[in-house]
Chain A
Amino acid sequence: MFKLLKEIFRTGEATVKYPFAPLHVEKDFRGKPEHDPEQCIACAACTVACPPNAIAMATDTDAGTRTWSIDYGRCIFCARCEEVCPTDAIRLSTDFELAVTTKADLTRQAVFRLARCEACDEPFAAAKEVAYVQDLIDKTAPSANEAARRRRSVATCPACKRARDVATVAALRFDRQPEETR
Chain B
Amino acid sequence: MSRTPTTDAFRPTSGITRIDTPADIASMKGALLKDIQRSAYVYRVDCGGCNGCEIEIFAAITPIFDAERFGIKVVASPRHADILLFTGAVTRAMRMPAVRAYEAAPDPKIVVSYGACGCSGGIFHDLYCVWGGTDKIVPVDVYIPGCPPTPAATIYGFAVALGLLGQKLKAETHVEGADERVAIAHPNVPYNLRVLIEREARRMAGYRQGGDIAELFLTLLGTAGTGTLSERMARHAGLENDPRTLEILERLKGVVTAAMAGAAS
Contact = CB atoms under 8 A, between A and B. Distances in A.
Interface of A: 14-16, 18-19, 23, 28, 37-41, 51-53, 71-79, 82-83, 87-89, 95-101, 103-113, 127-128, 131-132, 135-136, 139-140
Contacts of A139: 184, 187, 190-191
Contact of B125 (A53, A87, A140): A53
Interface of B: 63-66, 69-70, 116, 119-123, 125-126, 135, 140-147, 149-150, 152-153, 155-157, 159-161, 164-165, 167-177, 180-185, 187, 190-192, 207-209, 211
A5 to B, nearest CB: 18
B174 A111 contact: yes
B129 to A, nearest CB: 17
A95 B169 CA distance: 11
Nearest to B206: A83
13 contacts: A28-B208, A77-B146, A79-B207, A83-B207, A83-B208, A98-B146, A98-B168, A99-B142, A99-B160, A100-B160, A100-B167, A100-B169, A111-B173
B147 A76 contact: yes
B196 to A, nearest CB: 13
Contact of A52 (B123, B142, B209): B123
Interface of A is mostly: loop
B176 A112 contact: yes
Given A103-B135, A112-B176, A136-B191, A41 B207 contact: no
B147 A77 contact: yes
Given A74-B121, A99-B153, A128-B180, A108 B167 contact: no
B160 A101 contact: yes
A19 B209 contact: no
Contact of B176 (A71, A95, A106, A110): A110
Given A96-B146, A100-B142, A79 B208 contact: yes
A19 B116 contact: no
B145 A73 contact: yes
Given A15-B63, A96-B146, A73 B119 contact: yes
A112 B191 CA distance: 26
A82 B208 contact: yes
A128 B63 CA distance: 51
Given A38-B180, A109-B173, A136-B191, A98 B123 contact: no
A39 to B, nearest CB: 6
A97 B156 contact: yes
B147 A87 contact: no
Nearest to A52: B123
B118 to A, nearest CB: 9
Contact of A82 (B135, B159, B207): B207
Contacts of B65: 15-16, 18
Given A28-B208, A132-B184, A140-B192, A109 B172 contact: yes
A138 to B, nearest CB: 9
Given A15-B66, A87-B182, A111-B176, A98 B191 contact: no
B152 A99 contact: no
Contact of A75 (B145, B161, B183, B191): B145
Closest 4 pairs between A and B when the two form their complex, measured CB to CB: A73-B119, A99-B157, A76-B147, A52-B123
A72 B173 contact: no
Given A14-B64, A127-B176, 15 more contacts: A15-B69, A16-B152, A19-B155, A52-B116, A73-B116, A76-B123, A77-B146, A79-B207, A82-B207, A97-B168, A98-B146, A99-B161, A103-B135, A103-B143, A140-B192
Contacts of B143: 73, 99-101, 103, 106
A47 to B, nearest CB: 15
B64 A106 contact: no
A74 B116 contact: yes
Contacts of A107: 171
A26 to B, nearest CB: 11
A73 B173 contact: no
